[in-house]
Amino acid sequence: MSNLIWTAIGVVFILWLLGFSIHIGGSLIHILLVLALIGIVYNLFVGRRV
């Protein structure tokens, strides 16, 4: 499951970078980036509890 989360974060980050150059779905990509950052923080906290 952790690998799936990191893959999704990587894809969203690449799409976010493309959003700056292509300007396709700018606000959607930024929202997805915020969700990805929340996922990273959540993963860090859950990983330390185990």
Quote the mean pLDDT of the chain.
Answer: 74
Rounded distance, CA 25 to CA 3, Å?
26
Decide if 36 contacts 12 (C-beta within 8 A): yes
Is the full-model pTM beyond 0.75?
no
Element (H, E) at 41: helix 26-49
* pLDDT value of position 12: 75
pLDDT over 90 for what percent of the chain? 0
Q: From the centroid of its chain, how far is CA 5?
A: 8
